[in-house]
Chain A
Amino acid sequence: MVRRNLVGWAFLAPLVAYLLLCYGYPLLTTLDLSLRDYTVRTFVHGGAPVTGLANYITVFTDPVFRTAMLNTVVFTVVSLVFQYGIGLALAVFFSRHFRLSATLRALFLVPWLLPLIVSASTWAWMFTSEAGVVNAALSWFGVDGVNWLTSPDWSLVSVIVANIWIGIPFNLVVLYSGLRNIPAEVHEASALDGASSWQTFRHVTFPMLRPVSTVTLLLGLVYTLKVFDIIWIMTRGGPSGSSTTLATWSYELGFGSMLPRFGPSSAVGNVLILLAVAVGLVYVRVQRRQEAS
């Protein structure tokens, strides 16, 4: 038994070393960064004075914090609601058999696989004020165009739209596999009892899908919290902070200008980590409970 444990950990040793080196050490570095007052000079040569929680206080009292926090919540909640809603509707649609069903479902994966910089720059060009295809489409319906990316009222909406588009495939695939795992007899029984397809969905399918839905939404929550590329490439968090989230703010503080503020940047980053890990813990609990039942 002892031998088996030894052999087992021998196979795990490279991974453990890797985790300590590539996760543990960087995360400690971020923690250290957030507790010191760094300048470009002390960053390279060391010797930055320890300032305790000063960076956290700086960040919390910055008016941008409120905006970033609020935007993060709006971005995450609205994205999740639409990704899940559209994903579920599509999953139900594709769970019926029809010609080309499998091929079309595969094509729906494309947005999920494209590099984010590709999707983000494509959406950025589609949203351009003049000559953008979105405004052109609106004008066919007699609606006035909008300065999607450059107006503080619309920048957040633009990045949310792009993010929803990117998230639909994930929701579709996971919910589709969830639907496939519900035995067909359940639906037949419900139909024999005279339930309409909407009633069957509401009272039978949807409740049975709940474990899968919970996992989908929790994973979606974790991924959406850390979305950075899409927002940064489309709007850089602007104009005037109107589409800044915690993730883009952290990047902007650390890498967005010639005068990096690594301390506050890491402080924001660590707040984000706390949020993500909190969601992660809920996820693990839910998964344990599902495995138990």
Chain B
Amino acid sequence: MTRPWWRTAVGLLLTGVMLFPVYWMVNVSLTPPGEMRKSPPDLFPGSPTFDGYARVLDEQLPYFGTSLLVGLGTVVLTLVLAAPAAYSLAKLRPRGRGPLTFVLLVAQMIPGIIMALGLYGIYVKLGITNTVWGLVFADSTIAVPFAVLILTSFMSSVPDEIVQAARIDGAGPFRAFWSVVLPASRNGVVTAGLFAFLWAWSDFVFAATLDSGGPMQPLTLGIYRYIGNNNQEWNAIMATAVVASVPATMLLVLAQRFVAAGITSGAVKD
């Protein structure tokens, strides 16, 4: 039929164009600071330097630790809230679940900046700005509605007969949830957890408003500070950016099909 090699060549070219900024980030991260302002810039790092990466290890490591902590905390909180709720919506189907689903849909439409304003007011009153768990709560607001909706759709596809069989064998609703429905919707749990982690890891709005002082700051703020303070040191900024992208890249390699599944079932990009 059509010549596949021709399509592959075009595909490679398009991918190359699309990923050029990613390549450029890596290229700049390896360029010595002295050659940074060269015009035109070098397309390849002729004499690559790892100074930028050395500085990341030196200065940014605590930021990465905070982000990891916040990311994992958000995943746990999101799943603990979303999984039982999704089980109820998919299998127990109580009366009045329609309005709740609608609220979840609308919740996803609310801009982060407005949530940040409201949360800031509350956090200041309670004195919990600049805390890791304050950030975990804020970041979970991005993921929870999405996680409930996607887990509901995964759990709905678990056959009712299996759940009924478990009930006949004497399992209570919690046993049916924990030992039957949850394991059967493992892919949904992975997808929801994955997105919760990625969003918390990349969050900038909540970090900038709720956690801009104190010892525990996430890496998005680390990069932001870099841009503000040392406007000349793009080598170090881009090295940090490369390292900050590692989780996203790893997740893409490990969980490609989950990521695509997540987007197609109505994913949200903040």
Contacts and interface: CB of A to CB of B under 8 A. Distances in A.
Contact of B38 (A15, A131, A279): A131
A174 B15 CA distance: 18
B180 interface: no
B93 interface: yes
A6 B94 CA distance: 8
Contacts of B112: 226, 228
Given A5-B95, A104-B11, A113-B259, A12 B100 contact: yes
Contacts of A96: 2, 7
A226 B92 CA distance: 35
Interface residues of A, number: 99
B24 A229 contact: no
B94 A18 contact: no
B186 interface: no
A101 B202 CA distance: 28
B85 interface: yes
A166 B22 CA distance: 12
B219 to A, nearest CB: 8
B85 A272 contact: no
Q: Which of B15, B114, B137 has the most CB of A within 10 A?
A: B114
A121 B19 contact: no
A133 B102 CA distance: 46
B122 A26 contact: yes
B162 interface: no
B124 A43 contact: yes
Contacts of A28: 118
A226 B270 contact: yes
Contacts of A254: 117, 120, 209
A177 B8 CA distance: 20
Interface in A13-27: 14-16, 18-19, 22-23, 25-27
B18 interface: yes
A262 B7 contact: no
Q: Which of B12, B18, B238, B267 has the most CB of A within 10 A?
A: B18
Contact of A118 (B19, B25, B84): B25
A81 interface: no
Interface string B241-268: 1001100110110001001100110111
Contact of B37 (A126, A130, A226): A130
Interface of B: 2, 4-5, 7-8, 10-12, 14-15, 18-19, 21-22, 24-25, 28, 36-41, 80-82, 84-85, 87-89, 92-97, 100, 102-122, 124-125, 137, 140-141, 144, 148, 173, 177, 198, 201-202, 204-205, 208-209, 220, 223-224, 227, 234, 237-238, 241, 244-245, 248-249, 251-252, 256, 259-260, 263-264, 266-270
Given A12-B84, A104-B12, A250-B113, 10 more contacts: A23-B141, A107-B15, A117-B224, A121-B223, A122-B21, A133-B41, A139-B40, A173-B263, A226-B112, A273-B110
> Considering the complex of A and B, which 5 residue pairs feature the smallest CB-CB distances, nearest first?
A8-B94, A26-B118, A115-B202, A226-B111, A11-B88
14 contacts: A4-B94, A15-B100, A25-B118, A43-B124, A44-B124, A117-B223, A118-B244, A121-B227, A122-B21, A122-B24, A125-B28, A136-B41, A165-B21, A225-B111
